[in-house]
Amino acid sequence: MSLINTSIAAIMPYFPKWMVKPFANPYVAGENIVEVTKIIKSLNQQGYKSTVDILGEFVEDEKQASKVLKSYSKLVKTIAKEQMDSTISVKLTHLGLGIKSKIAQKNFSKLIEVGKENRVGITIDMENSPYTSEILRIYKESLEIFDGVGTVIQAYLFRSLNDLKALDSNKLNLRICKGIYNEPKDISFQSKIDINKNFLELSKYLLKGKGYACLATHDLELINSIEDFVQLNKIDKSKFEFQALHGVPIKEKLNELKNKGYSVRIYVPYGPEWFEYSIRRIKENPKIVSYILKNMFKL
């Protein structure tokens, strides 16, 4: 069955969207703000926090970037109005960074003013390595406007520990993730063992540092190692949280963490650009194929 799952997942990018939609549903919280609001409220009722991402990256022109800004501003206001326990996550290329840095900075400055006014936190998602330094620069400047801004570093990059050391402060809100982009071997770790080792090193440094740690991984071995470190070093639970992607099948572990009193935040993506994101998630977890097929045949 695993070979069949993997084979179907590999050819799924060539399927029409209507065929992929049932397989995407576990990972994507709908295509509009009404649908994602229901998911956020459900997660909050279960005791989870959330961070919401409007799917998409590069835009072609300033007009598209402005449209994305309006969508995120509406999302922030909805979170505040509905009193949901949620932040937002945004890619700066979605706000124009791939066109010109000034465009992204202008749009992001407007967005953080909306976040500040509504007291909704904003995390700048990390992207591929050509944008790393510019993203971190914009992040540091944004803290002068709103201290509710956070960002991300990726454990597979060699530079990440030095970046963390430079960022560490009482204002730091930092998500550590493994990284999803294909990066060259001269700047990044290539093996899972090395990436996990660096993830754990980064996590320990951040947990012992001045900032707030957001530990984003579905790797149970890593989660257990972090738990051991937290308990051994008596790290206060208010200094960190665990994060996981919506739909990734580790619900039992997330419930366990939540029941132990740890904060757990679910990364919730939504929007009309769901196809490419879903394909990536399905390739990472081909078992979802047989799960969906079984349910479809039951129906």
Instruction: Say if residue 38 is in the same domain as residue 124.
Output: yes
Residue 256: predicted pLDDT: 96
263 and 293, same domain (yes or no): no
Residue 25 confidence (pLDDT): 58
In whole angstroms, give the CA distance from residue 279 to residue 147. 35
Say yes or no: 142 and 20 in one domain.
Answer: no
Q: Are residues 259 and 298 part of one domain? A: no
Please report, rounded to a whole number, the percentage of residues in the chain having pLDDT higher than 90. Answer: 71
* 169 and 298 co-located in one domain: no
Same domain, 65 and 187: yes
From the list 53, 159, 163, 175, the catalytic residue is 175
Judging by DSSP bridges, how do beta strands 173-177 and 86-90 pair with one another?
unpaired
Residue spans of the chain under pLDDT 50: 1, 4-5, 8, 12, 14, 18, 285, 287-299
Cα dihedral 146, 263, 180, 138 in deg (nearest 10)? 10
pLDDT at residue number 297:
43
Query: Catalytic: which of 125, 163, 265, 281?
Result: 125
Residues 15 and 89 in one domain: no
Give the count of beta carbons closer than 10 Å to the beta carbon of residue 15. Answer: 14
Q: CA 256 to CA 254: how far, in whole Å?
A: 5
Determine the pLDDT at residue 168.
95
pLDDT score of 179:
87
Nearest to 262 by CA among 246, 244, 239: 239
Contacts of 155 (CB under 8 A, 6+ apart): 176, 177, 178, 179, 189, 195, 196, 198, 199, 202
**Is 163 marked active-site?**
no
Is position 125 annotated as part of the catalytic site?
yes
**Partners of 192 in the beta sheet?**
none
CATH code at position 254: 3.20.20.220
5 and 123, same domain (yes or no): no
- Structural domain including 63 reads 29-273
Containing 296, the helix (H) or strand (E) segment is: helix 287-298
Residue 135 φ then ψ, to 5°: -60, -45
Count of structural domains, the chain: 2
Closest CA to 11 of 298, 289, 217: 289
What's residue 293's pLDDT? Answer: 44
